[in-house]
Amino acid sequence: MGSYERPAALGAALEALEAGARSGRPPVIVAGATDHYPTRVGRVVDEDVLDVSGLVGMRGLHPIAGGWWIPSAVTWTELVEARLPAAFDGLKRAARAVGGLQIQNRGTVVGNVCNASPAADGMPNLLALDAIVELASVRGTRRLPIGEFVTGNRTTLREPDELVTGVFVPDAGESATSTFVKLGSRAYLVISIAMVAAVVARDRAGRITSARVAVGACSPVAQRLPDLEAALGGRPLRPGLGELVRDEHLASLSPIDDVRASAEYRRRAALVLVRRTLEELAAGAAEAG
């Protein structure tokens, strides 16, 4: 049986990580443990566990210079309940789709990112929000764009002595709206077959000034669609916008066949979901006037 530590001070957590990394046996970090435990059911586990859920100062999503700070212990429920600009509506919708309420009460946004599942519902939204991950160790802190931090299926650039302290989301501007569309085999408590998040800003004339669109569960890491984003620039944000989306815009995706869906189904679903996402944002803009 390994050791279990739940420090209150960040410094103590970083020292525990450094000592573990130096000895060649870094502790496994857990926050809500909702990804951690299901992968260990029925296994003899002797790893050392560093529980970061008790770290002081790691709760409470709040504004900071130039944007918003999501500290490492912020749960999906806290995110849903926070007063946030419309650019976060997509991430909030994803939060409501992560498991059931019990999972949302324990599971963290940062845990979702660090677990690096291709089907992590937070990832497309955080990519579309241009989020930045902050890592700390006794050596100092560093920041990485989220798209660089997650490198593949269950792999990230985190070093064994590093802890993710939170995620910074730059201000997307007052006009920015967002949404998230998820496809699963049923409406709730389901792992995504494909999902799409978009954050779109517009000028006073209703023309798109910036569009960020990301697809999840159709490649090892959720992906932005830069060609589509470029094609959307300058277009009026109004119904019919989805017709602009072509197969070529999704060419960089590499969906797989698995128990949930075939690669071909995922590719077609992603196209439909991207169109729906844009139509939803256009309908919202039309309603707002």
Ligand X SMILES: Cc1cc2nc3c(=O)[nH]c(=O)nc-3n(C[C@H](O)[C@H](O)[C@H](O)COP(=O)(O)OP(=O)(O)OC[C@H]3O[C@@H](n4cnc5c(N)ncnc54)[C@H](O)[C@@H]3O)c2cc1C
User: How near is the Cβ of 209 to ligand X at its closest, in Å?
Assistant: 30
User: How near is the Cβ of 214 to ligand X at its closest, in Å?
Assistant: 14
Do the bridges between strand 62-64 and strand 132-137 make them parallel or antiparallel, or are there none, so unpaired? unpaired
x/- mask, ligand X, residues 210-249, rule CB under 6 A, reads: ----------------------------------------
Determine whether 49 is exposed, middle or buried from the number of CB atoms within 10 Å of its CB (0-12, 13-18, 19+). Answer: middle
The tokens 């586990």 sit on which residue?
Answer: 45
Give the residue, chosen from 163, 193, 213, 237, that forms a contact with ligand X under the rule CB under 6 A. 163
User: How near is the Cβ of 63 to ligand X at its closest, in Å?
Assistant: 21
Give the residue, chosen from 20, 27, 87, 115, that forms a contact with ligand X under the rule CB under 6 A. 115
Q: Tell me the residue number closest to ligand X, measured at CB.
A: 111
x/- mask, ligand X, residues 182-211, rule CB under 6 A, reads: ---------x--------------------
Q: Which is nearer to ligand X, 86 or 191 (CB)?
A: 191
User: How near is the Cβ of 234 to ligand X at its closest, in Å?
Assistant: 34
The three-point CA angle 208-219-143 to 5° equals: 70
CA distance 10 to 144: 20
Name residues contacting ligand X, limited to 4-43 (CB under 6 A): 28-36, 38
Strands (E), 66-139: 67-71, 132-137
User: Closest Cα to residue 248, out of 266, 273, 231?
Assistant: 231
DSSP 48: -
DSSP 58: -
Phi-psi group of 262: left, alpha or beta (phi > 0 → left; psi -120 to 50 → alpha; rest → beta): beta
CB half-sphere exposure, 232, CA atoms < 13 A: 32
User: How near is the Cβ of 95 to ligand X at its closest, in Å?
Assistant: 9
User: How near is the Cβ of 85 to ligand X at its closest, in Å?
Assistant: 22
DSSP per-residue letters across 254-282: -----SS--HHHHHHHHHHHHHHHHHHHH
Q: Which is nearer to ligand X, 66 or 100 (CB)?
A: 100
Give the residue, chosen from 10, 103, 244, 272, that forms a contact with ligand X under the rule CB under 6 A. 103
Q: Which is nearer to ligand X, 90 or 107 (CB)?
A: 107
112 counts as binding ligand X under rule CB under 6 A: yes
CA distance 225 to 30: 32
Measured in degrees and rounded to the nearest 5, phi and psi for residue 210 equal -155, 135
Give the residue, chosen from 7, 85, 99, 220, that forms a contact with ligand X under the rule CB under 6 A. 99
Name residues contacting ligand X, limited to 127-146 (CB under 6 A): none
Range in contact with ligand X (rule: CB under 6 A) among 59-67, 109-117, 171-179, 252-260: 109-117
CA distance 76 to 218: 23
120 counts as binding ligand X under rule CB under 6 A: yes
Binding site for ligand X (CB under 6 A): 28-36, 38, 52, 72, 97-99, 103, 106-108, 110-112, 114-115, 120-121, 158, 163-164, 191
